[in-house]
Amino acid sequence: MTVRQLKEQLELTVLVEQNIDKEITGCYIGDLLSWVMSRVQTGNVWLTVMGNVNAIAVAALSDAACIILTDSAVLDEDAKEKAQEQGVTVFSSNANSYQVAVQLSRLLSE
């Protein structure tokens, strides 16, 4: 499944759309950035409430497929610019990380 298909199949608000033909390999949930850099894998959808510039840098450097800000967490204005510049897709969802992960898991196992 690609990020484009994810966007079509889940109820997500698009905040930044970039490189959406990336293939999704799985999912990682976390807010502590070094923890995420230790565990997230190439192509993972990253669920977090961290909408700052540093989160964008982490997603870009670790080759995450996209970020989903759960619980309607806010994307900072400078983070939005950085995401556009770095080619990182950012969605927002009003569901929590568990709910989004469950939906994603269903889609990935279809």
Partner 1 sequence: MSFLPLHFTVSGYDFTCAGEASSKVKNKLKQLGYDSEAIRRAAIAMYEGEINMVIHGGGGEIFVEVYPDHIDIKMADKGPGIENIEQAMQEGYSTAPANVRALGFGAGMGLPNIKKYTDSLRIESEIGKGTTIYMTVQVNHS
Which residues contribute to the site for partner 1 (CB under 8 A)?
31-35, 37-38, 42, 50, 52-55, 57-58, 60-63, 78, 86
d(CA 26, CA 10): 15
Q: Which lies closer to partner 1 via its Cβ, residue 11 or residue 78?
A: 78
Q: Which lies closer to partner 1 via its Cβ, residue 34 or residue 109?
A: 34
Contact criterion met (CB below 8 Å) for 20 and 37: no
Q: Which lies closer to partner 1 via its Cβ, residue 42 or residue 72?
A: 42
d(CA 85, CA 31): 22
CB of 81 to partner 1, least distance (A): 10
Q: Which residue shows structure tokens 């977090």?
A: 48
